[in-house]
Structure 1
Amino acid sequence: MAEIKYEIQKNIGQISENKNGWTKEINLISWNERSPKYDLRDWAPEHEKMGKGITLSVEELKKLKEILNNMDL
């Protein structure tokens, strides 16, 4: 498997933290030296490991925001 390179360019915010210290975060990340995208996933302390997550373009993030704003919570 090829090595995945990533650079967290901006930490947007932490959503939660579990008992093992892993945090669910939204960040702006450049994957494999490509244009940065918004990324939502779990991270180990110090960001040495990551869980599965999703990446979103600006347009996708705007659409998600619109959907969330229209939800009855």
Structure 2
Amino acid sequence: MADFKFDIVEHLGVISENPKGWTKELNLVSWNGARPKFDLRDWAPNHEKMGKGITLSNEEFEALKDLMSKL
């Protein structure tokens, strides 16, 4: 797998934490120097490892917010 870089530009919040200390977080993340996107995934303490997650553009995030407001 190719190397990649990430930078958590802004930590928006923790949604949950499991007994091992991993947290499910919403952050603004820049992947490989690109424009930051909304990112929801599990992170190990100190962000040294990450789990699978989803990354959303501003438009996708707004669409998700609209859908959730209708629930």
What aligned pairs does 1:1-73 form with structure 2 within 5 A after superposition? 1-71=1-71
Q: Which runs of 4+ in 1 moved over 3 A?
A: none
Relative to the length of structure 1, the TM-score reads: 0.95
Q: Distance in 2 between matches of 1:6 and 1:28?
A: 10
Unaligned runs of 5+ residues in structure 2 are: none
Relative to the length of structure 2, the TM-score reads: 0.98
Counterpart amino acid of residue 30 in structure 1 = S
Q: Distance in 1 between matches of 2:4 and 2:16?
A: 25
Following superposition, the deviation at residue 61 of structure 1 comes to 0.4
Q: Distance in 2 between matches of 1:48 and 1:5?
A: 12
Residue correspondences, number: 71
Counterpart amino acid of residue 31 in structure 1 = W
Q: Distance in 1 between matches of 2:55 and 2:35?
A: 12
Following superposition, the deviation at residue 4 of structure 1 comes to 1.4
Following superposition, the deviation at residue 67 of structure 1 comes to 0.5
